[in-house]
A and B are shown apart, each in its own frame.
Chain A
Amino acid sequence: MLDTAMDVMPVSRPMSVTRVSVWSGRRQLHAEIRVPKTCSPDMPPLVALHGISRDAAGVAGAFSEPCASKGQVLITPLFTRENWSHFQRIGGYRPDRALLALLALVQQMGLARTDKVEMFGYSGGAQLAHRFAMLYPQRVAALHLAAAGWYCLPDLTQPFPMGLGPSETNLKTNIPALAHNQLRHFLALKLRVYVGAEDHHRDEALRKEPCIDDVQGRHRLARARYYCKAVRAAADARGVTADLSLCELPGCVHSFSDCAAAGLTGLVCSD
């Protein structure tokens, strides 16, 4: 089921802003689409996903200027707590389908071509971003993951959702098998991983189960480093040339605004 609502705000800024919403099953996803006055038609839009604080407005504000300068359409979804309490997971919930519906709507409205997008996510948004890319790598022109709490590793020895091995619980949708079929394509994606150089605290939001601590590390910095190694190893094992880099943002803890102030948004948009 797909339904839409649209509200075009007055244009008095470098980017015109259109608000849309789509339904995916019983859940609604809201988003703002910012179209620069001078838009590069062949440039994939940037989909920027918020973290568990759900500060889509903050994400939009941080990316507006660099996207406007670049001529890139900016799409900032908002997964509300009421509809998407665990939006970063693909399984029982299907935020991937909501994102696909959103991309289809943006194209249908003529706001941007969305057959390929650049995808950015911060924290929980980074978790959703890489899981989306594992299922639909052909839709992703570049994947930017910032400070994910933990990762779904391209590793068949790790049970899903930590890796792509069989899940220890019954799954309604066999996500690990589906992602495994796309793995070679996923490993060839342009992948940029970012994390605060001081993001080594075990805060309340961080998952601390042994199954993650023991494999990926005890904090986001260690986990980002481990993820990059795991992606590179998986790519090498399959003869795929990885296009991957890790950027540790100096002086940054786990804070989107700190990371943005340290140049994260500029790095994403300049790459």
Chain B
Amino acid sequence: MKNCNFKTAKWCFATRRIDQNLAGGLCHDFSQTKPGDLILGRVKSIGNHRRIQLPEGRPSTLYPGDLVVLPCGARYAPDQFEGFAEIDEQCSDMLAGGGCIGRMVQRNERIKPPTRIQPLGRITSKDGTVLNTRDFALAKPTTTSQIPVICVVGTSMNSGKTTATAALAHGLTKAGWQAAVLKGTGTGAFGDYNAYTDTGASYVADFTDAGMVTTYKEPLHRIVEGIDTLLSEAETRDCNIAVMELADGIFQQETAAILATPSARSRFSKYLFACSDAVAAAGGVAELERNGIRPIALTGMLSCSPMAVNEAQIATGVQVLTKGQLLDPAYANTLAARTLMGRSALAA
């Protein structure tokens, strides 16, 4: 593979910050593989992921024999796979469509086995250095950002967090805010990124811009450093408010750690909580209160049902906002006002 033309490979979305021209060789020693190392692989068999998400924001159908470039990474996805950032040089698993390759340890029973990838090597630069997503991250901030942040958390995957995040970002933009829409944790994928971009927000980024293909199994300090990097970049780009989604549910280990650690959650001014029903709302609000957090509003799938809305508001005392209300600049503006008031109170 000395003369491998890396550009013929399908590079995944999580590699989008990396200049493909830097790829100059392969390292065949997988024993030293670290999360974020770029792996060149050949598709051996098609499983759950039949397509790979490309950096330009479109999916590409995979065929056996295709060359792909995926960063090594872990995966936390209760509706798909759990996997670790480990490479089996005989055959590894494609853990996410936006990129990452690793070892699946368990899967949702409704999901097919993963697409299998034969690793060919770790991609190096011409001088032999293994290319790693960490080396292409935004610069680390030198000062603490002051931008007000509305943090969107939820009960689980598919509770409505991304819909709420995008709707609020659009509402804020309509109200005249220079909004940043950010994803603080999760696994690199273009679905959320594209949904954020479509809102017309002033700046969009996720943890891959901070050098992580996934935040699962990353140490808390590195995740928080990534969040700070994104917020600082948003401020540099003249954003005056940020909406940040934390992936998965509030019991997911990294999200739980962020919310339970005062020094980590101090970045967030206010919280929106997305959930599917009134019981989830009551449980989620109670769980958040254990960390001293009271969301400014509930949203998500719950908000589609007026009866569930009524039950949740009675059970929690927290207002439920629908997608339509988050899209409404007057509602978005009032959330911004309450976020700024919270910020002023903290500063005082």
- Residues of A in contact with B (beta carbons under 8 Å apart): 96-97, 100-101, 103-104, 114-115, 135-136, 138-139, 173, 175, 177-178, 181-182, 184-185
A181 and B174 form a contact (CB under 8 A): no
In the bound complex, residues from chain B placing their C-beta under 8 Å from that of A138 are 176, 333, 336
Asked if B337 contacts A100 (CB within 8 A), the reply is no
Nearest residue in A to B175 (C-beta to C-beta)?
A136
- Residue B253 interfacial (CB < 8 Å): no
Stretch in B139-147, B308-316, B324-332 touching the partner = B324-332
Instruction: Provide 26 A-B residue pairs closer than 8 Å at the C-beta atoms, listed in order of the A residue.
Output: A96-B330, A97-B328, A97-B329, A97-B330, A101-B174, A103-B176, A114-B176, A115-B176, A136-B175, A136-B329, A136-B330, A136-B333, A138-B176, A138-B333, A138-B336, A139-B176, A173-B328, A173-B331, A175-B330, A178-B330, A178-B334, A181-B337, A182-B333, A182-B334, A182-B337, A185-B337
- B240: shortest Cβ distance to chain A, in Å? 9
Evaluate whether A100 and B334 lie within 8 angstroms (CB atoms) in the complex, with A136-B329, A173-B328 already known.
no
Residues of B within 8 A of A135 (CB): 330, 333-334
The reply to whether A97 and B174 form a contact with Cβ atoms under 8 Å apart is yes
Min C-beta distance of B327 to chain A, whole Å = 10
By beta carbon, the residue of chain B nearest A134 is: B330
CA distance A138 to B329 in the complex (A): 12
Q: What's the Cα separation between A177 and B337 when bound, in Å?
A: 12
A17 to chain B, nearest CB (A): 24
- Measured between beta carbons, the chain B residues less than 8 angstroms from A103 are 176
Q: How far, in whole Å, are A185 and B176 apart by their CA atoms in the complex?
A: 16
Instruction: State the CA gap A266–B208 with chains docked (Å).
Output: 55
Are A100 and B175 within 8 A (Cβ)? Answer: yes
Cβ-defined contact, B338 with A181, below 8 A: yes
Chain A residues, Cβ within 8 Å of B330: 96-97, 135-136, 173, 175, 178
| Nearest-Cβ distance from residue B30 to partner chain A, whole angstroms | 51
Q: Given A136-B329, A175-B330, A178-B330, is A100 in contact with B338 using a C-beta cutoff of 8 Å?
A: no
B329 surroundings in chain A (CB, below 8 A): 96-97, 100, 136
Q: A96-B329, A178-B331 are in contact. List 5 more A-B contacts (CB 8 A).
A: A97-B328, A103-B176, A136-B175, A173-B331, A181-B338
Q: A181-B334, A182-B334, A185-B337 are in contact. Are A100 and B174 (CB under 8 A)?
A: yes
Q: Which 9 A-B pairs have the closest CB atoms?
A: A181-B334, A178-B334, A135-B330, A178-B330, A181-B337, A182-B337, A139-B176, A100-B329, A115-B176
